Structure 1
């Protein structure tokens, strides 16, 4: 009997730190004491570990056990340290070789009967272990497929603490147990949604393609039934598959949110559509204990759709302003800072007034002041960050009859156009840190190599001089103009592309 140690992982956001779990047996009164800044869930590990060890056929030593989680200054959250604590304690008691336990990194939560539960954040935890140079990890069997997605890692999936002890050399007879798995969850994006289902609204369909080509944010204003939600739900289908880095990031965020990843990385852009009652913490991330990603972070490399945008709390909407500019969310706590990616496409949809009938020809029951106050809930600084702002009208009976003749654009064809446009943009931006037009800075767009002639930007210059747009809006119109040019296959935007981009920016006012 003596000192034994193993290792686990503590997550802060998507970043992980290696935690050394040390167990020591003394001759004092019985007990199991955890030290090293555990949170409430982790402090309860003592009872879980004691019950799980007894029910696995290897009760803990009756003498006092002291378990230290090092570094002591780092606060540890969650129940994923249970397996490491149990094995360190039993290795200190000589039940299993301390050398074997010390050579493996352990992650997993124990049930009282000794089974191992799937642990949220397994993918980013194993990625962190790989970055720190560890090559062998033991995880719950329900997480083994997810952990195996990290290349260069030997994954040992065990269904129970007893199986883990047997693997480490304990002389126990194996007992079959049910493998605990996380409940299956439907994907947020319905791949059956196709752009060909949209009737009319040609301007909005073009705006969606431009947004997909350049990664632009969109605001759609229109009455109920105009098709705003239908259009927004089809935007992810126009986006290309995720690249390797983006796929790993999206899958890690899903894992950290407690949703199963499965046997393969996520390859399609996500769609997050939170209800308007969402809080600021749920939108950007947070939590009283472990910091979890919010809807904005989970929408990274995909679409964040806010339907009935004026109904969202002002604090929630304004919390998106900084991520829209930086593409990153930083959540500060007294003893830690968690960082999450936030490179999403924001799609806002709103009615023209509280009753939704203003401008439709039907009777509107809202007073002018009521209409102004309703849309004023969307702050000017937030709207100034939206590249495409478009009015969506209801489909007329004539458009409905014409749609029966076919000729509508499908998502597959539109995606091919988007892929070609993104390839053209990537070639132009190959010597820059950006890959999308929406990421390019104003000084670069107005620089020597990409500066457009005065005759091309004359309409845009007049809008700036008259105060119709801000300098930020000026640059955003240029970004949209380049996306339109890429989509139409021309090498540089002309006056038509700039005029079209300005219309997409100011379409609600026209």
Structure 2
């Protein structure tokens, strides 16, 4: 007898439909799985057979063949166990096979027949609903995660016996549905506030500009001046995640097994700060069985690279393409995976190995500094929109340390939101959302300069060797600065500030 059951796997961060086909026929007793399977899927043969037996169901001495289709796609993970068991039980007549096309089955089986939670439930449920199959059997522990999908009926099961009882009385099956309360914005104070940073208004303004236009930013200066402090507060001045962004981020975390069951759909922007010893595959994704990296986990948030010069030069350069395209493409013999990488890049860097430059106490020679900073390639620096120096400040009194600044996270966020609203209206008919995403045609259309600003840019061009990419970034940053000031056109003052954010290359690298 033959049966077909619907299940889902993962490709990138999306669910992909897998048909589990089973055939039970006379012949030499065996249980055989086929269909381009990974090791953990192949091992489902023993898990399913033992789970069925321990659920009180006897497998007859027949030839059991199970195919996971399409055979050309590699199947990974343990999510197919439940569908394989149901397909076999349909062939044996334990479960009525009629009407099974209206269900999707997801879950791992324990040897005692229990249905255990799996990774990646969210993208699988989304894909199932998109394909028109809304009734989904899944592990009870995964139901809360699945309730983020509108239109799905989530039927949680604890073991194989319970599933068989449910399917014998299908009219009585009642699942759980979409819960909009999971997406309510969290009302929480800012744990890290820019008001805690004394002075450094130029640094705070640069942070505000980076957040307002989703620009990459580099903090450079002596050790202990507040570079990491400024970067760690960037998520606080970004707007809360939209529902679409929240779901996409939850899908990524679900696949990686990082979704917090208590707060699966947090509206807070992610902040990822990998150590400089991070491997290339851990940063951008990859491996023999590709998995998302830190840049994907930081999607819709901030990826912070502290002590930038301590990272491997090859690792840093791997970020160049994702910074431009906002995605990571990983090609393997088994297939190609595409992961999102739509995040702000923030980095911090000392001016030399000892961390004191440009302080007079720095004992590093020019060669020492060139060797240290030379680890960062010119093409990577070209992709930095905003470079800001963080100077060492003199603390005159303990009262200054205890004081509060008027530039708080709340006030900065308000200005960022105003600038984002301007961009929302500007790009309402465009496929982009932020100034940093403008292409050449959009720069010409939306970055109108006053005559004085045109003259300033001409003078800058005459004596400078900035690349074409660098000029584009100057215009994009200038557009964001004008938005923060509420200006329609980019004037000389705004442009000069945008130009100042490129001066770090000349001071520290002697170019641009």
Using the size of structure 1 for normalisation, the TM-score is 0.91
Deviation at 1:405, TM superposition (A): 4.6
Q: How far 1:442 sits from its partner (Å)?
A: 2.8
Q: Give, in whole Å, the separation in 2 of the partners of 1:458 and 1:25.
A: 81
Q: Does 1:278 align with 2:278?
A: yes
Q: Cα deviations across residues 184-230 of structure 1 (Å, max 9, x unaligned)? A: xxx9x994111111122211111000001110000111222111111
* 2:180 counterpart residue number: none
Is 1:487 matched with 2:512? no
Q: 1:414 aligns to what?
A: 412
Partner of 1:320: 319
Q: Is the 1:301–1:343 Cα contact (8 Å) retained in structure 2?
A: yes
Deviation sequence 1:320-350 (CA, Å, 0-9, x none) = 1111111111111224221111111000111
* Residue aligning to 1:35: 34
> C-alpha separation between the residues in 2 aligned to 1:190 and 1:260?
22
Question: After the TM superposition, which of the residue ranges 212-221 and 336-345 deviates more from structure 2?
Answer: 336-345
CA contact (8 A) 2:214 2:434 kept: yes
Q: Deviation string for 1:372-424 (max 9, x for gaps)?
A: 11111111101101100111122311387546453432211111111011101
Shift >6 Å, 4+ stretches: none
CA contact (8 A) 1:32 1:46 kept: yes
How far 1:361 sits from its partner (Å)? 3.3
Q: What is the aligned partner in structure 2 of residue 184 from structure 1?
A: none
What's 2:111 paired with? 112
Q: Residues 251-295 of structure 1: CA distance to partner in whole angstroms, max 9, x if unpaired?
A: 111111111254653322211111112122111212312x32111
Could you tell me which of 491, 499, 503 is aligned with 1:502?
499
Separation (CA, whole Å) in 2 of partners of 1:227 and 1:120 = 38
SS at match of 1:286: coil
Query: What are the within-5 Å matches in structure 2 for residues 210-359 of structure 1?
Result: 210-262=209-261, 265-289=265-289, 291-359=290-358
Partner of 2:182: none
Tell me the equivalent position of 1:183.
none
Cα RMSD over matched residues? 2.2
Aligned with 1:435 (options 433, 436, 459): 433
Aligned-partner Cα distance in 2 for 1:201–1:114: 61
1:11–1:17 Cα contact (<8 Å) kept = yes
1:285·1:331 contact (CA, 8 Å) conserved in 2? yes
Aligned ranges 1:461-480 → 2 under 5 Å: 461-480=458-477
Indicate whether 1:4 and 2:3 are aligned: yes
Cα displacement string for residues 288-319 of structure 1 (whole angstroms, at most 9, x for unaligned residues): 12x32111111111101111111111221111
What SS does the corresponding residue of 1:457 show, helix, strand or coil? helix
Structure 1 192/13 Cα, relative in aligned 2: closer, same or farther at 3 Å? Answer: same
1:124-135 correspondence to structure 2 within 5 Å: 124-135=123-134
Q: Aligned partners of 2:398, 2:343: CA distance in 1, in Å?
A: 33
List gaps (5 residues or longer) in structure 2. 171-185, 508-512
> What is the distance in 2 between the residues matched to 1:250 and 1:475?
29
Equivalent of 1:394 in 387, 392, 395: 392
Seen in structure 2, the aligned counterparts of structure 1 residues 267 and 61 have a Cα distance that, compared at 3 Å, is farther
> What SS does structure 1 have at the residue aligned with 2:222?
coil
| CA distance in structure 1 between the partners assigned to 2:315 and 2:111 by the alignment | 40
CA apart distance, 1:464: 2.4
Further displaced range: 147-156 or 335-344? 335-344
1:451 paired residue number = 448
Structure 1 unaligned runs (5+)?
A: 172-186
